[in-house]
Amino acid sequence: MSSKIWFRCLVTCVVVALCAMPALAQKGGQNPGSCDKFRANLEKDDFIVREGEAIHFDPIQKYCDGDLPNALYANYNAPYAAAVVPKNPNFEGQVADGPLPVFKLAPDEAVVLIGLTPPEEAYFSYQIYLAQRWYPGQSEPELLLNSLGDTVNIQTIKTIGPDPFERPMVLIFTPDQEIDARVRAALRRAGYPASIINTIVVPSATLKLGFDQKSDTLLILNRNAIFTEPDDEDEYKDHPTFRVFRVTPEDEEPLYPFPTAPLRVRGTGQTEIDLTPTLAVFRQAILDSYDEEDFTAKEFLTSQIANEGYDYTQRHALTLGDTRDALYLGAGNLPQFGLNDDLTLADGAFLIAYGLNHMATGKATYTNVNTYTPEGALALGSVFPAGLEGSAYEYLTPGDPIGELTYALKISRHCEEDEAFCLELEVPSCATGKVTLDSNSLLGIAFRLYLEPATSVGAAYPEIVYDQIIRFTPVGP
């Protein structure tokens, strides 16, 4: 048996055992409980329990297959898992089968995820979204994918053990306090300790819950980034390590809705602003590296994009999958977010994306740079921190202290062979024929700063010195 097949079997067995063997001790010595007992406890308490599934959700592949109108500006090489929630047993035809695993929810229901957290990685989180909404005067629902409050993430998840990886966890998504209490009681009687149970409030005050044609649809996603072991990423995509249950009361119950959960506060009061002169010096070093006789330089303004789901929902605007764990910056052509600059790369032209090392300043757990084409909201390439380490010294003298606080990435349609710190743009193979990349292709750049360690949420915009881009175009003959 190959090591990959063996590992896949091991992960599957652990998840099944997590729900089936109360005596089984996982990492940290905890009792994982029994899914069968959990279901039996709820059914005795007059609930109907249906099981769904956990899947790898790949917006790029779904766009390539023609299942989605665009690729949702997906964070390239940061995989997603999704909860496929079964339909409410009392309502037929709630949501037509489609490319997004969306669902409708009654105000007295819950969705429960039971399993293990992901293998070791830089970041993971679990989030519920307002997926689609009917606005007045529309003949079709609007695709939004706007976040509904904070995540449960790598820093905030309740579990047992010295680290948060491959640990038992339970997530309850519900709008109702009484339902949450009854689900928790059923879990505890089934052997799940309260210390691993997490509740994510579904904010009924801002949603149209229920099963009318124009009720809101929801989506539950699990984000992941930078697995320590590449094989772990492949296995987790094949087999996300959680099970999905829909919990529905047999009879209509009095409602005790949760108040909307308070939001984690962005910001520490400590800013990067004192490093503005440092970045200005670095900018000049970049400009000085390219002779004005050979290249024309043009700078593009960086702006905030897709920063808060609640804000965007009130403005009838879409984020296409934001999270409060991130701070988003954009430049160039990202029309869904109001950026319409004529950013193209003529033959021989390239971009330099540069900025502060926000991990070194303590403002992010990880960062990355994505290049997109608005044609299909499709990523053409991305770079994570490992691909940026030491990049500033391409423009500085060795040992210059500025180099530890900054980075620079060349973005081009054609990098030289073995050229360091150069991202060569490429249309994903599955999108060949759907998307073109040439001298007339519009491009947008997105900078993501994930999870300020001190606050367990994305950084505050006023405390960040924005990343920037410069386009260098060869001077004509």
Across the range 87-116, mean pLDDT stands at: 88
Cα(325)–Cα(323) distance, rounded to whole angstroms? 5
Q: What is the pLDDT of residue 340?
A: 97
Kindly state the helix (H) or strand (E) to which residue 371 belongs, with its residue range. strand 366-373
Cα(309)–Cα(324) distance, rounded to whole angstroms? 8
Confirm or reject CATH 2.60.120 for domain 273-474, answering yes or no: yes
- Tell me how long the chain is: 477
Extract the tokens encoding 304: 């905030």
Task: Give the rounded percent of residues in the chain with a pLDDT score beyond 90.
Answer: 89
Q: Which residue has the tokens 């109360």?
A: 22
Kindly state the helix (H) or strand (E) to which residue 197 belongs, with its residue range. strand 197-201
CB 280 within 8 A of CB 142: no
Extract the tokens encoding 129: 């979204």
DSSP string, 375-415: TTTEEEEEE-GGGTTTGGGGSS-TT-GGGGTEEEEEEESSP
Cα(201)–Cα(215) distance, rounded to whole angstroms? 18
Q: What is the pLDDT of residue 13?
A: 46
User: pLDDT by residue (tens digit) across 211-235?
Assistant: 999 999 999 999 999 999 999 999 9
**Residue 139 gets which letter from DSSP?**
S
Domain ranges of the chain: 3-249, 273-474
User: pLDDT by residue (tens digit) across 6-31?
Assistant: 444 444 444 445 564 333 334 443 44
Mean pLDDT is lowest, of 153-157, 241-245, 258-262, 304-308, for 304-308
Across the range 152-170, mean pLDDT stands at: 97
